[in-house]
Structure 1
Amino acid sequence: MEYLFRLLILVVCLSPAFVECRVRHYRFNVVMRNTSRLCSTKSIVTVNGKFPGPTIYAREDDTVLVNVVNHVKYNVSVHWHGIRQLRTGWADGPAYITQCPIQPGQNYVYNFTITGQRGTLLWHAHILWLRATVHGALVILPKLGVPYPFPKPNHESVIVLGEWWKSDTEAVINEALKSGVAPNVSDAHTINGHTGRVSNCPSTGGFTLSVEPAKTYMLRVINAALNEELFFKIAGHKLTVVEVDATYVKPFETDTILIAPGQTTNVIVSANQGAGKYMVAASPFMDTPTVAVDNMTATATLHYSGTLSSYPTTFTSPPPQNATPVANNFINSLRSLNSNTYPATVPLKVDHSLLFTVGLGINPCPTCKAGNGSRVVANINNVTFVMPTFALLQAHYFNIKGVFTTDFPGKPPVSFNYTGTPPANLRTTNGTKLYRLAYNATVQVVLQDTGIIAPENHPVHLHGFNFFAVGRGLGNFNPRTDPNKFNLVDPVERNTIGVPSGGWVAIRFRADNPGVWFMHCHLEVHTTWGLKMAFLVDNGKGPKESVLPPPKDLPKC
């Protein structure tokens, strides 16, 4: 009887009608699949054989259970990017941070409740470079009867942007780590798994978005790429931005959006042009000329109903790769909705004021022949994070000593001109260091880019929290004058923020979620090199302010 009841819940909760249902069940089979891209065939790791993976649909206040079953040779973990995981850090997913990975032949049920969130997020593998193909959309619908704070579109569509390598991505990063130099860039970008027509593979097809004249469409755009920020635009059409990272924003119109790895942006498109076909383009943004990127533009087609397939496509020119003004125009236009229903609860008093430098360094590596005896590393406050072999949250919860320390520096150990001439010593220190916070403490973190090797935009993701981006600027942050220009009224609320090349960004959040929460660059190459750290947030008072006990099926290391 219990089995039949659970089966009934499973069927009802996966219904496309989205009836009121408090629990939604999904099964993720992690399997290998042969697929053809760029005129070649290779085997990739997928969920349920799909690339991108299946979209998870839920409503605000739903509980989501996802049974992840590992059928491949790699260890696996899945992160529900942007879900706050209130007291349920065990379901957050980063391997060796909140859980040990799911080993081959094993499974784990991720169990979390969506509280106070609605909009578009993503899920992805959070171990090795499996995120390249193990990713998908996570759509959180408003509560039944609660409207969008903007005119409801006639239709919605998920648009997942990504990268594609002809080679096996694990081989790409392993070779780079062995040599000590940067890994090869990807061979193409993708829109919903398709590159569109590219010069070295003219037979490659593209994704088609079918529209009807005079209808409106909400596109839930997700950047699931490993290493590159992307511009997104549609020929002949304006995009009205209404949400980023599952938080509503004051609507504004633009022809181009910028979206970093891990970020999401919802836009409304009106099918108000003449019948025809219009190019959709995703192209890279990189304003540092010394940093290599994949310069291939992924294309798709917005196709008006009734238009013959032979009809010519209206093309669009993507912004130049170094179009910083286009990027800044988009970023500076983002403001929280800050309405009575959706207020911007910016912390006005700060308990911890932190300065984190983010960037690269060079450490000795006698075996790295390509690096001439050195290797490129990444760091925060000159600490290159060392991944533990036992999950940090388990070590914290069970008070296991020797796994980590809580002496992560709140400011750089040595002050220098961060965006000017690099210091003579480019070495970093290594350690598994956490920064400890009391429950409900308010935190300001200024993320300062450094010019060591090269200045570069770093999209930094904070697990377990949303934050407000209260300030942004070029050059070195000035603690005396720059806070006077902070926006404490309606700053954009996000979970992933771009630190500008040769500049800084200031974020604020309240540490009201106990546990161990990862913060890292969402460029996978920089995470691999060590641009990561974690906050340890202590329990508050009583069980409702404390980490829940771990589930019985939590994977073992």
Structure 2
Amino acid sequence: MDSLVRVLILVLCLFQVINNVECRVRRYNFNVVMKNTTRLCSSKQIVTVNGKSPGPTIYAREDDTVLINVVNHVKYNVSIHWHGIRQLRTGWADGPAYITQCPIQPGQNYVYNFTITGQRGTLLWHAHILWLRATVHGGLVILPKLGVPYPFPKPDHEVVLVLAEWWKSDTEAVINEALKSGLAPNVSDAHTINGHPGPVSNCPSTVGFNLNVSPGKTYMLRLINAALNEELFFKIAGHKLTVVEVDATYVKPFKTDTILIVPGQTTNILVTADKGAGKYMVAASPFMDTPTVAVDNLTVTATLHYTGTLSNSPTSFTNPPPQNATPIANNFISALRSLNSKQYPAKVPQNVDHSLLFAVGLGVNSCPSCNNGSRVVASVNNVTFVMPTVSLLQAHFFNVKGVFTTDFPGNPPVAFNYTGNPPKNLATNKGTKVYKVSYNDTIQVVLQDTGIIAPENHPVHLHGFNFFAVGRGLGNFNPKIDTKNFNLVDPVERNTIGVPSGGWVAIRFRADNPGVWFMHCHLEVHTTWGLKMAFLVDNGKGPSQSILPPPKDLPKC
């Protein structure tokens, strides 16, 4: 009976949010279950939420409270991260396993409880343990407050498009084999759009996602990159795309024919069905400008299908950009600017209390049992992060000693030519270290790619905060020269940023959210290898600037 009541409340609230009726509490049930599925002409069991992958889209409004009861029915430990939700003082609901919570064990459940404050737009949710987010992911749509319009022409329809990857093999077996060998894991076998891989040459039965449109109507496509390891280009044949939002923050609208979206990022685009009739290819293809790094090079396709067009009509094709199309990627990134209006100002920190340089990249550590006696690792400032067995937030809140140290280096311990010849010693240090700051401190982090093994793009995600991308460049960051060109007026505001291959990006944020907040590469292989760290933000003055106590049902390790 209780579950029936929950379902009825969910249906009522979903009806209300779609029809502009206030419903301040949104309730969802997430049952994590195994599901038999057939894709790419192979059958296997995958971990899903409510038997679907992608899972259900969460709908809420700015200022709503969201309650999501996650019940674990599978053999794996589970945790869910609400990617991009700031979790103001509610780090217990953030989700990364062993950072803000112990995972939900098989047969157990946990209610994630958080309020959406000062945010509206498209985000995503996904598993934040092991490689489960390969199939455990979905959309998170935050509508504006009642009566508050979009700062752009209202679209006639809205559609969520989740871009992801598909492996014929079990992803846990893929990464476990890689960790055993010390080498890189196999790449995925296909990309997907809303779970559909599209036509694949060695599997003629596969079909692509069909997006039906009516002539003359405008559609807002809420793009989400839920892929484990692939940065993606996105195009629609014959149609211009108007970018209006990224990572749930409005941007100055601009037109383009190609979107770049990295794992963990979201992008809202407006598309007008102005062709009258026809079928047009929708394509997502990989971006990787380092030739030595393997990627899944298959392009996933869907169809933009005008109503009234016969299903056997020919499709207008589009050529996806080359895999190494760096100029196209840079043009898109350079066009992004915060809206910076009176209603949505860009509150860029003009001065910083902490100026940090984080060298991010790969390394090689000794491993007698691995192939060649070594294993590939990753690090931030030469620290390969070691996951604790008690969550960092619990250790901080309850003052548990010996779980972590607060000596994470604010600069590389040894300076070198980061984008030139690698140092002779490729080994990294291991540790569970955090960087500690005071409440309301302003922080600048320059994320510097390194050429150890190979230069590579790194989509870095910061939990608990949005940040402003104030600068970007190739080569080694030069604080005397490069800071003069920083954009402190209308830089794009994000929660996930791509560090360019062989280059750097500078971000700024204000530490106005107490707790322990993860920062890591959103390429799951690099996170597994240790490219991660955490910020510890102390409580401020009084209860409103302090972490809330943990909920009674917080999972135990």
Same fold (TM over 0.5): yes
Give the Cα separation in 2 of the matches to 1:211 and 1:116.
32
CA 1:55–1:4 in 2, change beyond 3 Å: closer, same or farther? closer
Aligned to 1:339: 341
Aligned to 1:444: 444
Q: How does 1:205-224 map to 2 (within 5 A)?
A: 205-224=207-226
Asked if 1:278 corresponds to 2:280, the answer is yes
Aligned to 1:385: 385
Q: Say which SS state the counterpart of residue 328 (structure 2) adopts.
A: helix
Give the Cα separation in 2 of the matches to 1:212 and 1:162.
27
Code of the residue aligned with 1:194 in structure 2: it is H
Aligned to 1:251: 253
Aligned to 1:322: 324
Give the Cα separation in 2 of the matches to 1:376 and 1:19.
53
CA-CA distance at 1:479 after TM superposition:
0.8
1:160 maps to which of 159, 162, 177: 162
Code of the residue aligned with 2:126 in structure 1: it is H
CA-CA distance at 1:202 after TM superposition:
1.5
Give the Cα separation in 2 of the matches to 1:152 and 1:11.
25
Code of the residue aligned with 2:216 in structure 1: it is A
Give the Cα separation in 2 of the matches to 1:471 and 1:3.
50
Contact 2:216 2:276 in 1 (8 A): no
CA-CA distance at 1:51 after TM superposition:
1.0
Asked if 1:519 corresponds to 2:519, the answer is yes
Give the Cα separation in 1 of the matches to 2:101 and 2:241.
39
Q: Which runs of 5+ in 2 are unaligned?
A: none
CA-CA distance at 1:12 after TM superposition:
2.6
Give the Cα separation in 2 of the matches to 1:262 and 1:3.
32
1:368 maps to which of 370, 388, 396: 370
Q: Say which SS state the counterpart of residue 480 (structure 2) adopts.
A: coil
Aligned to 1:22: 24
Taking structure 1 as the reference length, the TM-score comes to 0.98
2:198 maps to which of 189, 196, 199: 196
Aligned to 1:395: 395
Contact 1:14 1:25 in 2 (8 A): no
CA-CA distance at 1:2 after TM superposition:
11
Q: Say which SS state the counterpart of residue 13 (structure 1) adopts.
A: helix
1:187 maps to which of 174, 186, 189: 189
Q: How does 1:122-201 map to 2 (within 5 A)?
A: 122-201=124-203
Q: Alpha-carbon deviations, 1:492-548, whole Å to 9, x = none?
A: 000000000000000000000000000000000000000000000000000000000
Asked if 1:476 corresponds to 2:464, the answer is no
Code of the residue aligned with 1:292 in structure 2: it is A
Aligned to 1:461: 461
2:89 maps to which of 87, 90, 94: 87
Aligned to 2:539: 539
CA-CA distance at 1:484 after TM superposition:
0.2
Code of the residue aligned with 2:305 in structure 1: it is H
Give the Cα separation in 1 of the matches to 2:509 and 2:437.
12
Contact 1:64 1:111 in 2 (8 A): yes
| Aligned CA-pair RMSD | 1.2
Asked if 1:44 corresponds to 2:46, the answer is yes
Code of the residue aligned with 1:114 in structure 2: it is I
CA-CA distance at 1:273 after TM superposition:
1.0
Code of the residue aligned with 2:508 in structure 1: it is R
Give the Cα separation in 2 of the matches to 1:5 and 1:52.
25
Aligned to 2:508: 508
Q: How many residues align?
A: 555
Q: Alpha-carbon deviations, 1:86-134, whole Å to 9, x = none?
A: 0000000000000000000000000000000000000000000000000
Worse-matched range after superposition: 8-17 or 524-533: 8-17
Aligned to 1:62: 64
CA-CA distance at 1:3 after TM superposition:
10
Q: Alpha-carbon deviations, 1:329-357, whole Å to 9, x = none?
A: 00000000000000000000100000000
Q: Alpha-carbon deviations, 1:445-477, whole Å to 9, x = none?
A: 000000000000100000000000000000000
Code of the residue aligned with 1:153 in structure 2: it is P
Aligned to 2:232: 230
CA-CA distance at 1:6 after TM superposition:
7.0
CA 1:175–1:3 in 2, change beyond 3 Å: closer, same or farther? closer
Contact 1:9 1:23 in 2 (8 A): no
Q: Say which SS state the counterpart of residue 172 (structure 2) adopts.
A: helix
Q: Say which SS state the counterpart of residue 551 (structure 2) adopts.
A: coil
Give the Cα separation in 2 of the matches to 1:329 and 1:201.
35
Q: Say which SS state the counterpart of residue 326 (structure 1) adopts.
A: helix
Contact 1:58 1:141 in 2 (8 A): yes
Q: Alpha-carbon deviations, 1:7-65, whole Å to 9, x = none?
A: 76444323243520110000000000011110111100000001100000000000000
Q: How does 1:347-362 map to 2 (within 5 A)?
A: 347-362=349-364
Give the Cα separation in 2 of the matches to 1:4 and 1:443.
47
Give the Cα separation in 1 of the matches to 2:425 and 2:207.
49
Give the Cα separation in 2 of the matches to 1:95 and 1:5.
30
Code of the residue aligned with 2:370 in structure 1: it is C
What is the aligned-residue identity percentage? 85
Give the Cα separation in 2 of the matches to 1:6 and 1:191.
30
Contact 1:119 1:243 in 2 (8 A): yes
CA-CA distance at 1:5 after TM superposition:
8.5
Contact 2:241 2:256 in 1 (8 A): yes
Give the Cα separation in 2 of the matches to 1:417 and 1:3.
59
Give the Cα separation in 1 of the matches to 2:4 and 2:237.
51
Taking structure 2 as the reference length, the TM-score comes to 0.98
Code of the residue aligned with 1:256 in structure 2: it is T
Give the Cα separation in 2 of the matches to 1:235 and 1:528.
37
